[in-house]
Amino acid sequence: MCIVLNPHCKLEQKASWLKQLKKWNGVDVCPWEDGNHGSELPNLTNALPQGANANQDSSNRPHRTVFTRAIEACDLHWQDSHLQHIISSDLYTNYCYHDNTENSLFDSHGWPLWHEHVPTACARVDALRSHGYPREALRLAIAIVNTLRRQQQKELEMFRTQKKELPHKSITSITNLEGWVGHPLDPVGTLFSSLMEACRIDDESFPGFSDFTESLGQCKSLEYQRLPAHKFLEEGESYLTLAVEVALIGLGQQRIMPDGLYTQEKVCRNEEQLISKLQEIELDDTLVKIFRKQAVFLLEAGPYSGLGEIIHRESVPMHTFAKYLFTSLLPHDAELAYKIALRAMRLLVLESTAPTGDLTRPHHIASVVPNRYPRWFTLSHIESQQCELASTMLTAAKGDVRRLETVLESIQKNIHSSSHIFKLAQDAFKIATLMDSLPDITLLKVSLELGLQDNLPKHLVILSSQVMRMTLSTLNWRRREMVRWLVTCATEVGVYALDSIMQSWFTLFTPTEATSIVATTVMSNSTIVRLHLDCHQQEKLASSARTLALQCAMKDPQNCALSALTLCEKDHIAFETAYQIVLDAATTGMSYTQLFTIARYMEHRGYPMRAYKLATLAMTHLNLSYNQDTHPAINDVLWACALSHSLGKNELAAIIPLVVKSVKCATVLSDILRRCTLTTPGMVGLHGRRNSGKLMSLDKAPLRQLLDATIGAYINTTHSRLTHISPRHYSEFIEFLSKARETFLMAHDGHIQFTQFIDNLKQIYKGKKKLMMLVRERFG
């Protein structure tokens, strides 16, 4: 983006870059911007009851590659007169301007504003810096920050008005669906770096500012100067204070947790990097004032803020940021520091009654909210940060009974991990007994209460197991939570407890729970790492998990077969057994959708013949009538035929009779027929095998059978459509006949057949005069 946003590049240069970018963008292996999250952890969503649907929603959304934004940026230009004035002059003001519209060009001071998609606007700043225009970059950065501050104030005023008008309504809508921290273009980091660069003592790295630094003495490399105020800064402000404020604005923004491991890790990493840079700056009275201002805003600003009173359940948690705010504000304003930290303790994605809000992304949120949080791949890190925030508050609250009780209530309400609760109990005990010679009685009480709540994981395993047995026959909405809780407790106890609940799974869990939650958790890398398992222990647990998976697949193949295959992948005998269970269940207990799903999984795992076998079994359960040309199973049918075609003539010959029997839709059959005539069967097999055979003849089996069936389907469909046809569908019907003719003409005597077919239509439906006139005009 920096390259294509060069403000002085020529049009032919940009055209050349665009051509190259589009070429790279079209390459199959071009990386996705979000790290290709759709295939990073393919087995995780299989564990969810509605996982397939959620996954389908994700796959239907267009994916952006690493070049998409640069390609889009080729449409941007620098000719806007307001933008030109901003970057070219320190004196561009309009003191008579009335700041009363959302997209005002100037604020109430008469200072210029720049309204543009924030990441795009910041990409302009980055481009200016990269191409040697530091002054221009700084001017634009200041305009953007002033715009963000004005927007922030407007949001606060709007929210206060809404609260007065609708005092009982919970407002959770998010104004920024695209988070700035962790964004591919790093807008907050760009603004922060640009402003810090302007105040860093380094003449060579920032040409054009030597006049500001001539009189300043030398100091350490990480020291910054409060340079003379720029034209568009408040009194007492500097580039440093502006940099700090924009970092706080970005970090406090409420935004939705993005999809995928890569993007979620990037959010965490960028947040920590930005906070690390902030920690290098020593706070003075001016900066503390900014911290206070932003902290108050974050608490009161409603949906704009990640620390607002009510947030969406899938908002990115604020634990890490709040810990930094807490430690920064504590020496100066303890009350405000605790308000921020306590507000940030929540982790709504784990709450069963959290508000889902009125987010303007219903296609993404509404379908996955009930079981989305297992796809928060960084959840363990987030929970550890929540625990760190709680621990920091406990340490700071030593000696203050009221504060300790408040922190305790927050821990009991918001922390869901038994291991973290136990850790905080230990922290409280250490703080009480080790820091002073006399133990802190309140902290010992806190430790005891936390310990009682945790009640030692071993006892919780026993108690939870009793609850699981009691609710097994009368499943309720909290079962999933209970299952996870039991597995968590067992994990805390160790290998023996995990092995024990797997050995007796049938008394505790349903087959689906056992495979999708219990065995999957036990086999995860996080469990291995957490328990420091050696090879022998890993194999023992894996063996128990495979046995459990096979038993569940036998009991409930429809819901557990795929999970069983996944869990048994690394053991040949267990995998063969799971596959045989699927074959046995295929004829009676499984639908074509389930079988096609497993067949595709088999192909993905490199078992094309097994995938083919399952696809043929799926075909026997399928029935597509003549008018079902948009049925969701069509893609599976086309895939099955393509798989058979790639394996060879024999496989294709075996599946075509099944297709002919199951599919009566003419357009689908003609599509299959066309694909089969384009290449030789087995020409490029799934393992790269090649066959120098000839194209299959339409006059011989199996394609002759498919051709006859397709022609027959067109004839039957034509009569069915003519039974209830209305004049507004005449032109569409004529096009349908044109497609039918293409298929007829593939036959040796197709021309004669089609002529006879048309003659019959004209005779049988001669009462439909206008339609038959159209038929004669097109087909004679």
Residue 365's pLDDT band (cuts 50, 70, 90)? very low
pLDDT for 475 equals 65
From residue 22, how far is each of 27, 33, 238 by CA, in Å? 9, 15, 42
Distance CA 764, CA 221 (A): 93
pLDDT for 137 equals 95
What are the tens digits of pLDDT across the range 75-87?
999 999 999 999 9
pLDDT for 231 equals 63
pLDDT for 371 equals 46
Distance CA 354, CA 348 (A): 6
Beta bridge partners of 112: 106
Residue 87 lies in a domain: no
pLDDT for 234 equals 78
pLDDT for 391 beyond 60:
yes
Residue 425's pLDDT band (cuts 50, 70, 90)? low
Residue 47 lies in a domain: no
Task: Domain count for the chain, please give it.
Answer: 2
pLDDT for 294 equals 96
Residue 771's pLDDT band (cuts 50, 70, 90)? very high
pLDDT for 162 equals 83
What are the tens digits of pLDDT across the range 99-131?
667 778 998 888 999 999 999 999 999 999 999
pLDDT for 376 beyond 70:
yes
Mean pLDDT lowest among 221-225, 415-419, 716-720: 221-225
* DSSP assignment string, 336-355: HHHHHHHHHT--GGG-TT--
Mean pLDDT lowest among 475-479, 503-507, 510-514, 748-752: 475-479
pTM of the model: 0.55
pLDDT for 230 equals 54
**Residue range 707-717: average pLDDT?**
93
**Residue range 159-176: average pLDDT?**
69
Residue tagged 């105040």 (tokens): 199
What are the tens digits of pLDDT across the range 434-470?
544 444 556 545 543 554 344 334 433 543 454 466 5
Residues near 278 by beta carbon (within 8 Å), at least 6 away in sequence: 244, 247, 324
* DSSP assignment string, 617-665: HHHHT--B-TT-TT-TTHHHHHHHHHHHHHH-HHHHHHHHHHHHHHB--
Buried b (16+ CB within 10 A) or exposed e, 321-349: bbbbbbebbbeebeebbbbbbbbbbbbbb
Residue 328 lies in a domain: no
Query: Kindly report the CA angle at 653 between 651 and 655, in degrees rounded to 5?
Result: 70
CB 610 within 8 A of CB 618: no
**Residue range 627-646: average pLDDT?**
92
Residue 6 lies in a domain: yes
Helix, strand, coil % in the chain, rounded to nearest 5: 65, 0, 35
Tokens of 304: 């704009």
Cis bond leading into 608, ω under 30°? no
Residue 518's pLDDT band (cuts 50, 70, 90)? very high
pLDDT for 462 equals 44
Q: What are phi and psi of 305, to 5 degrees?
A: -110, 140
Closest CA to 133 of 93, 167, 83, 170: 83
What are the tens digits of pLDDT across the range 26-68?
998 999 988 865 433 333 223 333 333 333 444 444 678 999 9
Residue 700 lies in a domain: yes
Mean pLDDT lowest among 10-24, 59-73, 745-759: 59-73
Specify the higher pLDDT residue, 492 or 713.
713
pLDDT for 159 equals 87
Domain boundary among 51, 77, 103: 77
Domain boundary among 77, 107, 139: 77
**Residue range 505-528: average pLDDT?**
92
Domain boundary among 17, 45, 77: 77
Residue 649: CB atoms within 10 Å: 16
Specify the higher pLDDT residue, 38 or 492.
492
CB 648 within 8 A of CB 683: no
pLDDT for 587 equals 84
**Residue range 395-420: average pLDDT?**
82
pLDDT for 362 beyond 70:
no
Q: What is the residue range of 32's domain? A: 1-37+64-77
pLDDT for 409 beyond 50:
yes
Residue tagged 């902030």 (tokens): 278
Cis bond leading into 374, ω under 30°? no
CB 201 within 8 A of CB 223: yes
Residue 693's pLDDT band (cuts 50, 70, 90)? low
Percent of residues, the chain, with pLDDT higher than 70 = 78
Tokens of 398: 């030593």
Mean pLDDT lowest among 350-364, 541-555, 583-597: 350-364
Q: Look up residue 559 and give its amino acid.
A: N
Distance CA 668, CA 300 (A): 58
pLDDT for 415 equals 86
pLDDT for 451 equals 45
Mean pLDDT lowest among 90-94, 564-568, 655-659: 90-94
CB 47 within 8 A of CB 567: no
Helix (H) or strand (E) holding 519: none
Mean pLDDT lowest among 354-368, 406-420, 539-553: 354-368
CB 340 within 8 A of CB 329: yes
From residue 369, how far is each of 175, 309, 481, 713 by CA, in Å? 19, 20, 15, 43
Residue 315 lies in a domain: no
**Residue range 166-189: average pLDDT?**
77
| Through-space distance between the first and last CA atoms of the chain, rounded to whole angstroms | 58
**Residue range 535-551: average pLDDT?**
95
Distance CA 607, CA 778 (A): 49
Overall residue count recorded for the chain in this entry: 780
pLDDT for 173 equals 59
pLDDT for 496 equals 84
Residue 627's pLDDT band (cuts 50, 70, 90)? confident
Distance CA 304, CA 294 (A): 12
DSSP 690: B
Alpha helix positions (H), 435-556: 441-454, 457-471, 479-493, 495-503, 505-508, 511-513, 520-522, 525-531, 535-555
Average pLDDT in the chain:
82
Residue 687 lies in a domain: no
Residue 535 lies in a domain: no
Mean pLDDT lowest among 18-32, 45-59, 527-541, 604-618: 45-59
Specify the higher pLDDT residue, 22 or 400.
22
